[in-house]
Amino acid sequence: NAGVTQTPKFRVLKTGQSMTLLCAQDMNHEYMYWYRQDPGMGLRLIHYSVGEGTTAKGEVPDGYNVSRLKKQNFLLGLESAAPSQTSVYFCASGKGDRAYLGETQYFGPGTRLLVL
Amino acid sequence: ELKVEQNPLFLSMQEGKNYTIYCNYSTTSDRLYWYRQDPGKSLESLFVLLSNGAVKQEGRLMASLDTKARLSTLHITAAVHDLSATYFCAVDIYMEYGNKLVFGAGTILRVKS
């Protein structure tokens, strides 16, 4: 099992450019999440998905869009990158439902994004 | 809005010493997670605490949860250098479409030999 993988690992963008971050999981999890990590702020939820074709906003969704066309993939898009989006992005997956007590989220290795 | 506060945010301690990291949160929840992150790495799950009074131990780390006080602690016993990392607590809350985690800012732990 590869677990949760992310592509790319590192990217430099210029302001206004667009890009898509890809997250893939092989654990058959229904729930997938995108977080950003900034120094001193922990992880903050951007968007999440509770199943194929269903997405919802998290705490900091502005400037990002997502899609979940296949259960195993969750894409995060930046349409017009801004320097404030310089961050480390983590994808996670999990069973999500409260019925699965004790189930944690599993995190990918992260994508470091620098917007100049 | 749920707030999760960790303290201290930075902890430098000597090998062999004991210390406790605190995690306070502002709303009702009965599930709390602790994660570890090494520099430049992803998050690794340490503990899942599911109810009031829950206590979990793994090696030199012990976590507990008091849902009435909205407080979790991560106790470090006889610290060793390998425990140097950033530790996050995260509170599980239920949203319109399933659960989400709200993270504390993290505690950077440095164990000096």
In angstroms, the CA B55 to CA A86 distance is: 38
From chain B, pick out residues whose CB is under 8 angstroms from the CB of A108: 42
SS3 for chain A is CCCEEEECCEEEECCCCCEEEEEEECCCCCEEEEEEECCCCCEEEEEEEEECCEEEECCCCCCEEEECCCCCEEEEEECCCCHHHCEEEEEEEECCCCCCCCCCCEECCCEEEEEC
Q: Give residue-wise pLDDT tens across range B36-54.
A: 999 999 999 999 998 888 8
- H or E stretch at B107: strand B107-112
What does the pLDDT read at residue A96?
Answer: 72
Q: How many angstroms separate the CA atoms of B93 and B2, rounded?
A: 9
Chain A residues near any Cβ of chain B (below 8 Å)? 31, 33, 40-45, 48, 50, 54, 56, 58-59, 90, 94, 96-98, 101-110
- B100 interfacial to chain A (CB closer than 8 Å): yes
Strand duo B85-95 + B98-103: pairing: antiparallel
Q: Does B64 touch chain A (CB under 8 A)?
A: no
Both tokens assigned to B35: 């994660």
Q: Which residues of A touch B100 (CB under 8 A)?
A: 33, 45, 48, 58
Chain A contact probe: residue of B35, B38, B43 with most A CBs at under 10 A: B43
For residues A20-49, average pLDDT? 94
Q: Of B17, B22, B7, B3, whose CA–CA distance to B93 is shortest?
A: B3
Above pLDDT 70, what percent of chain B? 98
Q: Is the Cβ pair A41, B105 closer than 8 Å? A: yes
Give A57 to chain B, closest Cα distance, Å: 10
Q: What is the pLDDT of residues A66-100, one digit of tens each?
A: 999 999 999 999 999 999 999 999 999 998 766 66
- Cα distance between residue A42 and residue B89, in whole Å: 9
Token pair recorded at residue A12: 């430099």
Our CA-based measurement puts residue B76 at a distance from the nearest CA of chain A, in whole angstroms, of 21
Q: In one letter, which amino acid is A27?
A: M
Task: Write the DSSP symbol of residue B83.
Answer: G
Parallel, antiparallel, or unpaired: how do β-strands A10-13 and A111-115 relate? parallel
CA distance B30 to chain A (A): 11
Per-residue pLDDT of A39-72, as tens digits, reads 888 899 999 998 999 999 999 999 999 999 999 9
The C-alpha of A108 sits at a distance from chain B's nearest C-alpha, in angstroms, of 6
